[in-house]
Amino acid sequence: MSNSSPTAPMDRLPRLNELVDTQPLGRSLAVVAAPLRFVAFWAAVALPFLYVPLLVGGLEGQQLAVFVGLLATNAAALVLGHEYGR
């Protein structure tokens, strides 16, 4: 047994707010980070609605590539917008 406390891996990563406080260009990063979080959060909310027409029509040919790209974009938006509203 180890003496470390059970924490999730995401809890051990530095948060963007902590990085802003320690970097010399922290204020300019904060100015960019807040709108980026906002857009990424709402993109992560809205993008799944685009799955429906693709899935209803079937994934054939180029539509499969569009679906995979949409999934990757949604995953990136989830990661970037995760801290929004906290």
pLDDT of amino acid 61? 83
pLDDT of amino acid 33? 80
Alpha helices per DSSP H over the chain: 9-12, 16-22, 26-46, 51-57, 62-80
* pTM for the model: 0.62
Q: Is residue 45 part of a domain?
A: yes
Structurally, the chain folds into a number of domains equal to: 1
Most distant CA atoms of the chain, gap in Å: 54
pLDDT of amino acid 3? 59
pLDDT of amino acid 46? 93
Owning domain of residue 41: 12-80
Q: Is residue 25 part of a domain?
A: yes
Q: Is residue 19 part of a domain?
A: yes
pLDDT, one tens digit for every residue, the chain (86 residues):
455 555 555 555 556 566 555 556 666 777 778 888 999 999 999 999 988 888 888 888 888 888 999 999 999 999 988 888 77
Q: Is residue 86 part of a domain?
A: no
